[in-house]
Amino acid sequence: MNIGIATVFNSMNDGSFWQSMMLKRELEKRGHSVVFFRVPDNPERPILTKTIIGRIIKYLIRDGILGCYKYILSIKEFAEDQKQFNEIKVEDAGKLDLVILGSDMIWCREGKPYFDKYHDFFWGEVFHDVPIVTYAGSCGSMHDYADKEWIKKTVGRWNKISVRDNNTYRIIKENTENDVSIVCDPTMLVTADEYKPLMKGYINGERYILLYMFSNLTAEQGKQIIGFAKEKNLKIISLIRRQRNMPRNSTYVAVNSPYRLIEYYAKAEYVITDTFHGSIFAILFNKNFVTINHEKTQVNEVVTSLGYADRIVDKTDLFLSKLVESVDFSNNQNKLDSLRLKSIEYLEKCLE
C-alpha cells in the first residue's frame, strides 16, 4: 500500500521528527511505502528561514561564537536527518492508497498560528478521492470549536479515527457517531531496544544529568542541581537552551539533533524535563526523572496515564529528593505495553 502522512515532520523539533519517524517505520515494517506531504504553499522548505536566522543572531549575542556554532551544527544535522522522509505534493495524493492525518497537535487552531493557517491541510480537506484515517491527532489544549457544522462535516470524511489524549477524544466524539480510539504517540509504538541500534556513538563514558526543557529552572532549583552534580561528579548537559538562572560555566549546552537526543536519553543518569516527548523518552529509557509542571494538560496526562503522576513536580518545587528517588518502572510496564498493543491493533485495522 502507498501511504501519505500529513503531519509536522521537517521542523527543528525532536518530538516532531521521532513521531514521524516511528510511524513511518511501523508502516514500513508491514511492507508499505510511506511519503510525507509538503504543506501546500510551502513546497520547498528552506533551511535558513527568517526565524532560524533570527535565532542564529540571538545565539551569537547570548552564547558567543561557540554557542552559535553549536546551533548551526544542530540545523545541519536536522536537515541531514530529515532527508529520510520522502516527500510528495498534495496534488499527487490521488496516486496513493491511504492518507494518515497525524500525529501531533495538528488540529489545534488556538494559539497555534501555523496549524490554524493550514487547517484545511491538517484536517484533510485538501485530500480528495483517497481514504483518510487519523493516528494520534491532537487538538492540544483547545476547549472547543465554534463552527460545529464544519467540524462534523470534516470528521465525517474520516474512515477511522484515533486521537492521543482525552481532551481531543471529547471534542471529536462530540462531533461524530463513529468510533474514536485513544492511541499512544508514535514514539511509544516501539521499545527502547528498538531505539538503541539507531545511536551513532556521539557520547562516550560521560556521567551526567540531562536537562531537556523549554523553560528555565528557578535560581534555587539550579543551585540545588549544581550542588548535587558536584557531589556526585556528574556533568549537567542541557539540550534546547541554556538555563538562564544557572551560571554559564555550570552547564554544558550540547548540540541538539534527533539522533543525539535518543543517545543523550539512553546514557543519562537523571533527566529533568517539562516537555511531552521529553517525558515519554525518560519513561521509555527507564530513567530517574521529574517532569516540571507548567500546567500543560497533555504533558501531565501522558505521564499520569502511564503511572508516573508522582514524578510531576511543581515549577517552583525543590525537587532533588524526587529526582534521586528510584522509579519502579516494572510496576507500570503493563500500562505502556497494553496501550502500545491497542495502538498497533488500531493501526493494522487502518491498513486492512
The predicted pLDDT at position 283 comes to: 98
The mean per-residue pLDDT over the stretch 239-252 comes to 80
Burial 32-63 (b: 16+ CB within 10 A, else e): eebbbbbbeeeeeeeeeeeeeeebeeebeeeb
- What pairing do the DSSP bridges indicate for beta strands 87-88 and 33-37? parallel
Per-residue pLDDT band at 305 (split at 50, 70, 90): very high
Find the range with the poorest average confidence among 5-19, 39-53, 156-170, 255-269.
Answer: 39-53
Q: Confirm if 27 and 34 have CB atoms less than 8 A apart.
A: yes
Distance CA 103, CA 137 (A): 5
The grid coordinates of residue 34 equal 510511506
The predicted pLDDT at position 47 comes to: 53
The predicted pLDDT at position 93 comes to: 96
Find the range with the poorest average confidence among 46-50, 109-113, 296-300.
Answer: 46-50
User: Coil, strand or helix: which one is 160?
Assistant: strand
Distance CA 163, CA 170 (A): 10
Place of cell 516527548: 277
Find the range with the poorest average confidence among 230-234, 292-296, 338-342.
Answer: 292-296
Q: Which residue has the higher pLDDT, 144 or 127?
A: 127
Helix axes of 297-305 and 166-173: crossing angle, nearest 10 degrees: 110
- Give, for 227, the enclosing helix (H) or strand (E): helix 219-231
The predicted pLDDT at position 48 comes to: 56
**Which residues is 132 bridged to in the sheet?**
99
Distance CA 99, CA 4 (A): 5
Find the range with the poorest average confidence among 38-47, 72-81, 129-138, 225-234.
Answer: 38-47
**DSSP label at residue 69:** H
Per-residue pLDDT band at 42 (split at 50, 70, 90): low
pLDDT at 118 over 90: yes
Compute the chain's Rg from CA coordinates: 20
